[in-house]
A and B are shown apart, each in its own frame.
Chain A
Amino acid sequence: MTTFQESAHIALQDTQLRHNIGNATRAIRAKRNDAVAELPDWEELREAGRALKERVLRHLDHYLVQFEEAVTASGGQVHWARDAAEANRVVVELVKATGADEVVKSKSLTTEETKLNEALEENGIRPWETDLAQLIIQLAHDTPSHVLVPAIHKNRAEIRELFERELGIENLSDEPAELAEAARRHLRAKFLSARVGISGGNFGVAETGTIALFESEGNGRMCTTLPETLITVLGIEKLIPTWQDFEVYLQLLPRSSTAERMNPYNSFWTGVHEGDGPQEFHLVLVDNGRTNVLADEIGRQALGCIRCSACMNFCPVYERTGGHAYNSVYPGPIGAILTPQLEGLDRAGSLPYASRLCGACYDVCPVKINIPQVLVHLRHQVVKHERATLDPEQAAMRAMAKVFSSRRRYEVAQRLARAGQWPFARRGVIQHLPGGLSGWTATRDIRPLPKQAFRDWWRQR
């Protein structure tokens, strides 16, 4: 498996990417700060947002059963999927039962996680991504580099060329408005004739069975309103207790995400609404590793994530590497704690080192997920895991050799040990270095250690 550090080295050589990501995150940071500053009760909202998620997670079995009952009572059908393969199988069968050979899809990280599009294509079903950025990514056979602006690494000329080639549209200019218009025209025909829509969801309300979808373009509304059949794929952690709780998340999410007071469209539907929208509604509840995360009392908080992307925009490591370096559907700080827990340390054990533990992610997280705490916790796990799979003596020797082979590394290790930041150093002795230090130094090599404290440096920017 490619480690974060290896991918980051490649990503860092791509100056276009660095430039785009740098611009994007800088712009969003400033906007987000303004949007948050407008609310005098931001901290109280964050605390409520955190506590509600804690309530749900500590009693997830209760809420899942309640949610299932409410969805069923309002005319929806609930399906459960233990893993990605099962989720895809369920969706493919549901689509096949309608006889449709194409579907319109609104952006959904959960279906990216399960690689649903590949499964649909293998079964002769054509999925149309309808979010503009997702469409660009899909046409380019690429993967998203940012959760919020997935095609941030593509410039307008590339997009124009892509549309001309893949959609057969001629004489396009590279004005963003004209490119968006081309996508609108192309997708409109799909929306009007689609028989099946597939969506994700931002929240599921246990009390009422309501699903919420927050978006900007209106493609989510199209996918969830126009087709006869709607299939929504939801991770089991997406629940909130009651309808009333939207008073919290409707304030936290848009301001943290697109940094607006409110994103253009928020849709809420509850099962099947007679005479309005899809008359067949299926909900697929996906585990796919989430219960493993739930079992870890410290790591569990990662499941409270509402996917706003603020932690990415504020992360100094992400800003330089972009999303691809994480080799994960969830990039940035949240990816660094969620992906290793979802997929296991063998596959994603380098991700907990994709951070400088500066704490900016924690400060901006609208649901107060203590990302640095989970990072440190996971680094412990990585070390334990590596020790279990290596002859300990050999591992220790290797680590020490590595430390002493570079004066700078040694000094860094010492300094960290002294500062007490280094979780693996106790009583002045650096105990477990193998994965730990090698991973950490690899990240640090990206950028020389700043002389000033990170926070000072951050403020001066």
Chain B
Amino acid sequence: MSDAREEILGRVRTALRNVPDDESPDDVRVERAYRRDSGEPHEAVVALFVERVADYRAEVERVPASELRERVTRACERHSARRLVVPEGVPAHTRPEGVELIEDRNLTHAELDAIDGALTGCAAAIAETGTIVLDAGPDQGRRALTLVPDLHICIVPADRVVGSVPEAVARVAGGQRPVTLISGPSATSDIELRRVEGVHGPRRLVVLVVE
């Protein structure tokens, strides 16, 4: 096995023999002349986020903090969700009423599959692309929670919405925790290019932007 390693690295070095010995990776110039932030005021950024999430045919609402619990409860009713898995870091005042809330105590895949939905927060959100960023923080839980159940209700605090992709990449500690970017419900266009929402991931995504 280590033979393969040595041989491949040897081949790479031979292939690159005309790269000068004293050239370092940083000598290869990379110009980052693209936009680092969207340059828009925050209110416009949040409005754009809402618009772009809606483009993916996800449900999206702006919600005053005082009404959050009620709106989560209503979303559950709309989707006939009776049992929700809720990571421990989701604040008590956002948890819906009249719905069985299940903590993730090493739930098996089969148990998760029998749950109607997941209620989580997020690490960041990107306005230009209508994307939610999860990094498995305490209000988001492990990756399977937002994957196996068919409904994902995501609470996005307005101050976590950034304008552009570079701003979001800078906010997330990639390389340590697992990161998942979610842009709308799962989809396929594999059959005659007709877009179908919902294949394997949650088919319904509800995004609540809290002011």
A156, A261, A263, A295: which contacts B52 (Cβ < 8 A)? A261
Query: Which stretch in B62-70, B72-80, B127-135 binds the other chain?
Result: B127-135
Note all chain B residues with C-beta closer than 8 A to A64.
Answer: 8-9, 12
- A291 to B142, alpha carbons, bound, how many Å? 38
Please indicate which of the listed interface residues B128, B136, B191, B196 has the most CB atoms of chain A within 10 Å of its own CB: B191
Q: Cβ of B5: which chain A residues have Cβ within 8 Å of it? A: 80
Given A82-B7, A236-B8, A268:B180 Cβ within 8 A: yes
B90 contacts the other chain (Cβ, under 8 Å)?
no
Tell me, yes or no, whether B183 is within 8 Å of chain A by CB: yes
User: Are A246 and B18 in touch, CB under 8 angstroms?
Assistant: no
Tell me if B31 counts as interface (CB < 8 A to partner A): yes
A-B CB contacts (within 8 Å), total count: 251
B210 to chain A, nearest CB (A): 22
What is the CA–CA distance of A81 and B178 in the complex, to the nearest angstrom?
Answer: 27
| Residues of A148-197 contacting chain B, CB below 8 A | 149-152, 155-156, 159, 176-177, 179-180, 183-184, 187-188, 191-193
B54 at the interface (CB under 8 A from A): no
Give which listed residue, B32, B166, B183, B199, contacts A184 with CB less than 8 A. Answer: B199
Q: Which residues of the partner chain B approach A383 to less than 8 Å between Cβ atoms?
A: none
Inter-chain contacts of A133 with B (CB < 8 A)? 188, 190
> Is A192 within 8 A of B109, CB to CB?
yes
Q: Choose from A216, A226, A258, A270 the contact partner of B144 (Cβ within 8 Å).
A: A226
Nearest neighbor of B144 in chain A, beta-carbon distance: A225
Q: Does B15 contact A (CB under 8 A)?
A: yes
Interface membership of A244, Cβ < 8 A = yes
CB-CB under 8 A from B33, the residues of chain A are 41, 44, 47-48
Q: Dominant SS at the A interface?
A: helix
Closest to B4 in A: A80
The verdict on A232 contacting chain B, using a C-beta distance below 8 Å, is no
Interface residues of B in 107-147 (CB under 8 A from A): 109-110, 113, 126, 128-131, 136, 142-144, 147
Roughly how many angstroms separate A55 CA and B16 CA in the complex, as a whole number? 12
Does A276 count as interface, using CB distance less than 8 angstroms?
yes
CB within 8 Å of B: which A203-251 residues: 205, 207-210, 216-219, 221-222, 225-226, 236, 241, 243-244, 246-248, 250-251
Contact A205 B193 (CB under 8 A): no
B118 to chain A, nearest CB (A): 13
Q: Does B92 contact A (CB under 8 A)?
A: no
Residues of B within 8 A of A130 (CB): 200
Q: A205-B175, A210-B175, A273-B177 are in contact. Are A176 and B194 (CB under 8 A)?
A: yes
**Across the interface, do A209 and B147 meet the contact criterion of CB distance under 8 Å?**
no
Question: Out of A132, A262, A267, which one reaches B183, CB within 8 Å?
Answer: A262
- On chain B, the residues within 8 Å of A210 by CB distance are 174-175
Say yes or no: B199 contacts A268, CB within 8 Å: no
The answer to whether the Cβ of A305 comes within 8 Å of any Cβ in the partner chain is no
Q: Which of B1, B32, B177 lies in contact with A48, CB distance below 8 A?
A: B32
Q: Provided the pairs A59-B25, A156-B192, A208-B174 are in contact, do residues A47 and B31 lie with their beta carbons within 8 angstroms?
A: yes
Structural contact, A180 and B143, CB atoms closer than 8 A: no
Q: A40-B35, A132-B199, A219-B200 are in contact. Are A270 and B14 (CB under 8 A)?
A: no
Give B28's nearest chain A residue, CB to CB. Answer: A55
| Binary interface encoding of chain A residues 59-82 relative to chain B, with 1 for a CB under 8 A from any of its CBs, else 0 | 111111100001000000001111
CB closest residue in chain B, given A51: B30
Pair B147/A222 contact, Cβ less than 8 Å: yes
- Beyond the given pairs A63-B25, A152-B193, A218-B200, 17 more chain A to chain B contacts, judged by CB atoms under 8 angstroms and listed by A's residue number, are A40-B35, A48-B34, A55-B25, A55-B28, A70-B175, A130-B200, A149-B190, A180-B198, A207-B175, A210-B175, A218-B201, A222-B147, A261-B52, A266-B181, A269-B178, A273-B177, A285-B8
Rank and list the top 6 A-B pairs by shortest CB-CB distance, nearest first.
A218-B201, A208-B175, A218-B200, A295-B15, A247-B166, A291-B11
12 contacting pairs across A/B (C-beta < 8 A): A41-B34, A44-B35, A61-B12, A63-B25, A64-B8, A79-B1, A82-B8, A150-B190, A191-B109, A222-B147, A248-B34, A265-B201
